[in-house]
Chain A
């Protein structure tokens, strides 16, 4: 991928727009179409696009794999933690009513927290899967190159 000037410039312009759109879709999931899954996939797609154009090591610098591996179970914990919080405050598991001053506000707050947990898990899982596949491809390319150099040299 040598002559990629157009792609690089366009990706640099698009990337913040995609991330802001993902956050918009996440927090407006209550008032329009959207929610955690769409936002998570869009956020992961932004970083994957960056990784495809600029190379996976560059993407790994932006979002290091250690951060991704911490985020994957963190979203599940946020979700389950909200459910357990409802349990500890006196109601059933995953009942968000006791979280706010009135049950309606509790439900709204619970929905927001839960969708945030979904966003974290979905985006980090998609990104981790991409890193795994892409890392394999990079290894395969490097092995190919090494083999060709070895054959050419000897």
Chain B
């Protein structure tokens, strides 16, 4: 994944950037399976490598395919990013080491969910039970966010492209 990100930074052809983005999403999905997050991996593969790539390609069809070269060398952003990275690495020294069961993130709420989800909601998949029942309000908010994004895209792209001829576009009801 690190190599893919470096490739995206260096590539100038936008089509290559989009394809590398899809490769990156697939690699991320594989890593997520290794980390035992199977639901998340399925969603990331479908959404990141599927829908995102399709939408980016559709937009690429409408705009140019190459990126213009940078007009100034990006020294200040590079310094800012390196400083941020350094501060973050300094912060991760105190985080619990990888794979240990005793860290504080696994102590309080998670064991309750693991033990009680089956007999309170009759579903072996703990993630679905938590998502739909214990934290159902958050999922309602998420569905509203998707709804709002869909409405937003339809409003933005509903106006006709050229105002010259009065064609009747059956483009779906907005306006």
> Among B136, B157, B173, which residue has its beta carbon within 8 angstroms of that of A69?
B173
Stretch at the interface among B14-22, B70-78, B146-154: B146-154
> Are A30 and B39 in contact (CB-based, < 8 A)?
no
> Are B150 and A125 in contact (CB-based, < 8 A)?
yes
Q: A45-B46, A104-B122 are in contact. Are A30 and B128 (CB under 8 A)?
A: yes
Quote the shortest CB–CB distance from B39 to chain A (angstroms). Answer: 5
Quote the shortest CB–CB distance from B37 to chain A (angstroms). Answer: 9
> Are B161 and A136 in contact (CB-based, < 8 A)?
yes
**5 A/B residue pairs, CB under 8 Å, sorted by A:** A48-B51, A66-B173, A69-B172, A111-B128, A132-B172
Quote the shortest CB–CB distance from B12 to chain A (angstroms). Answer: 23
**Total cross-chain contacts (CB, 8 A):** 160
Q: A69-B173, A143-B162 are in contact. Are A133 and B157 (CB under 8 A)?
A: yes
> Are B172 and A131 in contact (CB-based, < 8 A)?
yes
The interface of chain A, by Cβ under 8 A from chain B, is 25, 29-35, 37-38, 41-42, 44-45, 48, 52, 65-66, 68-69, 72-73, 75-76, 79-80, 83, 94, 96, 103-105, 107-108, 110-111, 114-115, 117-118, 121-122, 124-126, 128-137, 139-140, 143
Stretch at the interface among B57-65, B80-88, B90-98, B104-112: B57-65
Interface size on B, residues (CB 8 A): 50
CA distance A81 to B132 in the complex (A): 14
> Are B139 and A137 in contact (CB-based, < 8 A)?
no
User: CB-CB < 8 A to B31: which residues of A?
Assistant: none
Residue of A33, A68, A139 with most partner-chain B CB within 10 A: A33
Chain B residues 127-161 with CB under 8 Å of chain A are: 127-129, 131-133, 136-137, 139-140, 143-144, 146-147, 149-151, 153-154, 157-158, 160-161
> Are A125 and B128 in contact (CB-based, < 8 A)?
no
> Among A32, A72, A83, A104, which residue has its beta carbon within 8 angstroms of that of B150?
A72
CA distance A122 to B51 in the complex (A): 12
User: CB-CB < 8 A to B13: which residues of A?
Assistant: none
> Are B132 and A110 in contact (CB-based, < 8 A)?
yes
CA distance A114 to B131 in the complex (A): 10
> Are B122 and A105 in contact (CB-based, < 8 A)?
yes
> Among A41, A72, A139, which residue has its beta carbon within 8 angstroms of that of B47?
A41
CA distance A30 to B133 in the complex (A): 12
> Are A111 and B133 in contact (CB-based, < 8 A)?
yes
User: CB-CB < 8 A to B133: which residues of A?
Assistant: 96, 107, 110-111
Q: A33-B125, A34-B39, A94-B137 are in contact. Are A76 and B143 (CB under 8 A)?
A: yes
Quote the shortest CB–CB distance from B150 to chain A (angstroms). Answer: 4
Of all chain A residues, which has the CB nearest B50?
A45
Quote the shortest CB–CB distance from A102 to chain B (angstroms). Answer: 9
